[in-house]
Each structure stands twice: as C-alpha cells, then as structure tokens.
Amino acid sequence: MRQFSVKVLDDDDREFVEVLRDLGIPRNVASMITYLANVQEATSREIEIGSNLRQPEVSIAMRALRNNGWVEEREVKKDGKGRPMKVYRLIRSLEEIITHFEEEKRLESTRVMEDIGRLKDLSGRLSSI
C-alpha cells in the first residue's frame, strides 16, 4: 500500500472560505480557491481530501474556475494503465481573484441603487394619481 500526504484546510483557511461564502460565492468554489491558493498544484483527489469536497463538487467548482480563467489544468500519465491524472493550479493570484469579486459586488451595488432610484421615481408617479 502506498502512502501520501495531502495538505488540508486549517482554521484560517476555513475562515477565508466563510468570508467568500458571505459574499455569495458557492461553498465548493470558495473551498477550491482557498485550497489551490495554498498549494503549488493538486490532483482532483488531493483537492477532494484537502478541501473536504466530493468529486462532483470539485468538478462543478473547477468549471467555474476555468470559466473565469483562474486555473490551469494539465494531464499526467500514471504508471500502468488507466486514465491520466489531471493536475490543477491557480494561474491568478488571490489578489486578482479578490479584485474580481470586489468589482462584481461594486457593479451589483450600483444596479441595486439604480433600481431603488427607479422605484422612488415610480412611487412618486403612483402617489400622484
């Protein structure tokens, strides 16, 4: 039997995940970002173990990270037969990812305030009828 070690999220990492979740980021995506920020690169299995996610959650989160251009994927041939392993690494810094969320929330806030302004205008017209 072979033995290998995997980094796991600690209390500070879990707090980072929770702050991302408070911003509306799905748990699996927040966990993936946090885990990959702590390692050079990782296989899907290492991510599952280290971030306490199930394989489908890793796949869904990986799709979100790929769509944003934050992760790079490469295949590594395993000894013997079978599929090659996929190895992932973040290609954007945490600072860049946080800036993305900051801009996203800024735009969302602007839209909400514009909607509130429109409601005020509309309510003024309704009350004058």
CB atoms within 10 A of CB 119: 10
Distance CA 47, CA 88 (A): 9
- Angstrom distance (rounded) from CA 53 to CA 13: 14
pLDDT confidence of residue 81? 78
Q: How far apart are CA 53 and CA 36, in angstroms?
A: 13
- Domain 1-92, classified CATH 2.40.110.10, yes or no: no
Strand partners, 42: 88
Asked if residue 1 has pLDDT above 60, the reply is no
* Nearest residue to 29 via CA among 40, 20, 42: 20
pTM: 0.82
- Give pLDDT tens digits for 111-128: 999 999 999 999 888 766
Asked if 60 contacts 28 with a C-beta cutoff of 8 angstroms, the reply is: yes
Give the separation between CA 29 and CA 35, rounded to whole angstroms.
10
Output the CA torsion 67→95→86→19 (10° steps).
-80
Q: pLDDT (tens digit, 9 = 90+) per residue, 12-60?
A: 999 999 999 999 999 999 999 999 999 999 999 999 999 999 999 999 9
Exposure of 70 by Cβ count < 10 A (0-12 exposed, 13-18 middle, 19+ buried)? buried
Task: Check residue 69 and give its pLDDT.
Answer: 96
What is the pLDDT confidence band of residue 76, given thresholds at 50, 70 and 90?
confident
List the chain domain ranges. Answer: 1-92, 93-129
